[in-house]
Structure 1
Amino acid sequence: MAVIDKMMPVRRGRNKFSLPNHSANDNKFLKKLFWYHLLLSFVYYIYSVFNRSDSHFYYEKIVTGFRGPDWSSFYGTSTTFIEWTGYPFIKWLGFSFEAIMALFAFFGFLGFIYFYRFFRERIFFKNTYAGFDLLHLFFLLPNLHFWSGSFGKGAFIFLGIGLLFYGLNNIPKRYWVLLIGALLTYHIRPHILLVILASSLIGFTFSSKGVGWGVKIVMILIAAMALGFIYKDVLNMVGLETDTVLTEGLNMSNRAAELSKATSGLDITTMSLPMQVFTFLFRPLFFDAPGMLGIIVSFENVFLLFITLIFLFKGGILYIIKGDFAVKTAFFSFITVSIALAQISGNLGIAIRQKSQIMMLFLFIIIQMYDDKKKEVFKSRRKTVNQRETLIRE
């Protein structure tokens, strides 16, 4: 855990009107978060023992050499990349199923560290809800830990997005972090990288503060080259042929119908788009919970729905319009991925798992709004104090 101690930034205040120093509390919280994540990763392992999960299939395909005789046979995007990553640990180092599960749980925890660093660099004040630190409360949501604590795509996509946004917060000094995050996200979900790149472009273009035209031009060129590189892979991920997209459009109704055939499925093809997005983000809600796991997730969904309504009633939409680059990028990434996945996640179980990949971005926007409002009050008070001190000296 000494690594965590070195990673957290230190803010030193000279008087009561300086920004607070959170470093000591951050270190303590991250150490506790590690054990919390480990606990929920173990819960997932127990769940996988009684409910055969994708983790077992990944492991078995590596052991049996399903894709070929050597490591290179497993290389690819999506599922194959998970198998390719696990291959040397399982084949060469003899990792058991439990060992590879623990390793990927650690990868998932690294995602929490980088997301937390991204949040903390921008969140200065303690924002409370019902007496609880809202920042800590967001990072304790169990669904995030449950799906990022196993041998599978959840751990890597969570880490990849965390690296991306941490890198985007300081591109000149963290371009290597940004590159690693982009490569990792591309190999798991090319279409999500596509969305984040496009959202970054929009965020830079429409943010008026602190972004020079030189950086904007560089981002436009990078986004254009990356979009061209992963275009075909994105279409393959949703089962479409490249030459039919422009003529037929993105018709996902067939895939949605297939997913809705499961026991926890919903026929979303008859729903309006707003209802599809609502279903993806906030259901199940007790009355349609698929089993015990669905009931547990329903508690979290009620909380998310509640804080979303508060956010909207307190001017959340206007805040997003006026927000800076990070806010706009997070919002466009969140809403675009949500709309896309909502149209194919007819199965509630799939929706529960997939929304955990991008929910942190919306939670960031919420807490950033609260923090910016406190920052305005802070600046106003500091200005008043400075004016008083100037009058006294005169």
Structure 2
Amino acid sequence: MIDIDFPIVFILLFIINNMMLNRLSKKYSFFDKKLMNYLYWYHLLFFAIYFMYSIYNNSDSLLYYLTVGNKGDQWPELFYTGTRFISFFAVPFVYLGLSYSSVMLVASWFGYVGFVYAYLYFRESIPINVTVFGRFDLLTLLLFLPNMHFWTASLGKGALIFMGLMVFTQAVKFPQKRIVALLIGGFFIYMVRPHVMLFVLVGVMIGILTGKGKISIGIKLLVLVASIVFLAAASSSILAVAKLENSENVVDDFEQFSDTNSAKLESSAKSGVSMASYPLPLKLFTFWFRPLFVDSPGAIGMFSSVENLIYLLLFAKICNRRFLRFILKAPYMVKMSIIVFLLSSFALTFVMSNLGIIMRQKSMVMYFGFFVIYYFLAQEKWEQMQRLKERNNAVALNA
């Protein structure tokens, strides 16, 4: 339960958070500090929900915390990509004497930072407000999606990688000016999920090479060379995620790994779905939009089904020829986002057969898809405004 150190940590994080928001509001003229404060308390609500959930259910968060107690004196050995890194992250806080509830709160705050940078990622590239479903501001709707907050409000991979992804992506817009943010974001992505770093860097390289933008040739070359060097140096760690570091046939061995892992998840979980025989479009549909009411695993699944319906309705807005023309001429941030979204979705569909895990895993990639949808709808609105302006000007000239 809540320990005596919790109020102290709560107050310190509140002060640190206000300092961060004040700094960002001075740096970015569009920054809505009031909205971010609302988002802060909203995220804390999901921290409280997840914390109560972790007390009465088996939770990875508690396991990470207990690992520190058992191996805290071997801290360097925990500095390894994947699961062990979460315990490595928790060690300094545990050594300071913080309780489980306080460490959970700290990790939850890192998840909140991800939402702040998601806001910057969207708003910096898309200054136009878009309304959906008649009356809802799209960016506000996306920032307050409950499933996203639930899986990023605890000590675990979700909070740290989401923060890393959003910090890195926001920094990529101006890489020459945001090197520190690039390094911090990239560090967390790689340490939590090395294979996701692969998808991100491939997306960055393709986006820079094919998308429109004002990045100079020198910066493009620097980013491309740095990405290639990193991928070459980290290839063993990335392949090790699927135990392919010593493989002589990566494609065949990955197929075998995905079939084996998928079968394990399906047989060990009540919410398992047999995706092995699904065609690729149905696999992707399952990853993006399920559970949907009829196959919801429990109360959380029903709650998630409502959100998945929103996803489905948003994605329906890009199912037209105009979107295809838009993608061909899109700026590099859009092309990067769609490549990261599709690559991550494609890879994860081959190893996911558990709706509960799918709900958790997709939280780290859905914002890339939402960014593409938002940009497309904003572009449509801008073009409509331009046509209206030209029509009004023509009427004024003929008057």
Taking structure 2 as the reference length, the TM-score comes to 0.89
Which residue, 183, 189, 198 being the options, matches 2:187? 183
Q: Quick check: 1:185–1:192 contact (8 Å CA) kept in 2?
A: yes
Residues 247 and 238 (structure 1 numbering): CA distance in 2 closer, same or farther, change over 3 Å? closer
Residues 103 and 131 (structure 1 numbering): CA distance in 2 closer, same or farther, change over 3 Å? same
CA offset at residue 277 of structure 1? Answer: 1.0
Deviations 1:254-291 (A, max 9, x none): 11111111111111111111111111110011111111
| Unmatched 5+ stretches in structure 1 | 12-20
Residues 70 and 211 (structure 1 numbering): CA distance in 2 closer, same or farther, change over 3 Å? same
Residues 223 and 314 (structure 1 numbering): CA distance in 2 closer, same or farther, change over 3 Å? same
Is 1:122 matched up with 2:125?
Answer: yes
Measured in 2, the distance between the counterparts of 1:208 and 1:75 equals 39
The residue aligned with 1:94 is: 97
The residue aligned with 1:15 is: none
Choose 310-319 or 97-106, whichever is displaced more: 310-319
Measured in 2, the distance between the counterparts of 1:73 and 1:60 equals 16
Measured in 1, the distance between the counterparts of 2:276 and 2:332 equals 34
Is 1:111 matched up with 2:118?
Answer: no
Residues 75 and 22 (structure 1 numbering): CA distance in 2 closer, same or farther, change over 3 Å? closer
The one-letter amino acid paired with 2:77 is S
Which residue, 202, 208, 221 being the options, matches 2:206? 202
CA offset at residue 108 of structure 1? Answer: 0.4
Q: Quick check: 1:71–1:88 contact (8 Å CA) kept in 2?
A: no
Measured in 2, the distance between the counterparts of 1:303 and 1:22 equals 27
Measured in 1, the distance between the counterparts of 2:340 and 2:284 equals 14
Q: Quick check: 1:157–1:189 contact (8 Å CA) kept in 2?
A: yes
Which residue, 158, 161, 183 being the options, matches 1:157? 161
Secondary structure of 1:270's aligned partner: coil
Secondary structure of 2:177's aligned partner: coil
Which residue, 34, 38, 46 being the options, matches 2:44? 38
The residue aligned with 1:174 is: 178
Which residue, 250, 257, 274 being the options, matches 2:254? 250
Is 1:273 matched up with 2:280?
Answer: yes
CA offset at residue 10 of structure 1? Answer: 7.5
Measured in 1, the distance between the counterparts of 2:122 and 2:291 equals 28
CA offset at residue 174 of structure 1? Answer: 0.6
Alignment of 1:1-394 (within 5 A): 1-8=18-25, 22-23=30-31, 26-65=32-71, 69-90=73-94, 92-129=95-132, 130-246=134-250, 248-251=252-255, 252-261=258-267, 262-313=269-320, 315-378=322-385
CA offset at residue 247 of structure 1? Answer: 7.1
Measured in 2, the distance between the counterparts of 1:378 and 1:9 equals 30
CA offset at residue 155 of structure 1? Answer: 0.6
Measured in 2, the distance between the counterparts of 1:183 and 1:267 equals 34
Q: Quick check: 2:212–2:329 contact (8 Å CA) kept in 1?
A: no
Taking structure 1 as the reference length, the TM-score comes to 0.90
Measured in 2, the distance between the counterparts of 1:235 and 1:9 equals 42
The one-letter amino acid paired with 2:294 is F
Choose 284-293 or 125-134, whichever is displaced more: 125-134
The one-letter amino acid paired with 1:128 is T
CA offset at residue 190 of structure 1? Answer: 0.6
The number of aligned residues is 376
The residue aligned with 1:18 is: none
Q: Quick check: 1:320–1:331 contact (8 Å CA) kept in 2?
A: no
Measured in 2, the distance between the counterparts of 1:276 and 1:228 equals 30
Q: Quick check: 2:289–2:312 contact (8 Å CA) kept in 1?
A: yes
Q: Quick check: 1:10–1:22 contact (8 Å CA) kept in 2?
A: no
The residue aligned with 2:10 is: none
CA offset at residue 180 of structure 1? Answer: 1.0
Deviations 1:303-332 (A, max 9, x none): 101110122237333322221100000000
Measured in 2, the distance between the counterparts of 1:190 and 1:128 equals 36
| Unmatched 5+ stretches in structure 2 | 1-17
Measured in 2, the distance between the counterparts of 1:245 and 1:143 equals 38
CA offset at residue 207 of structure 1? Answer: 1.6
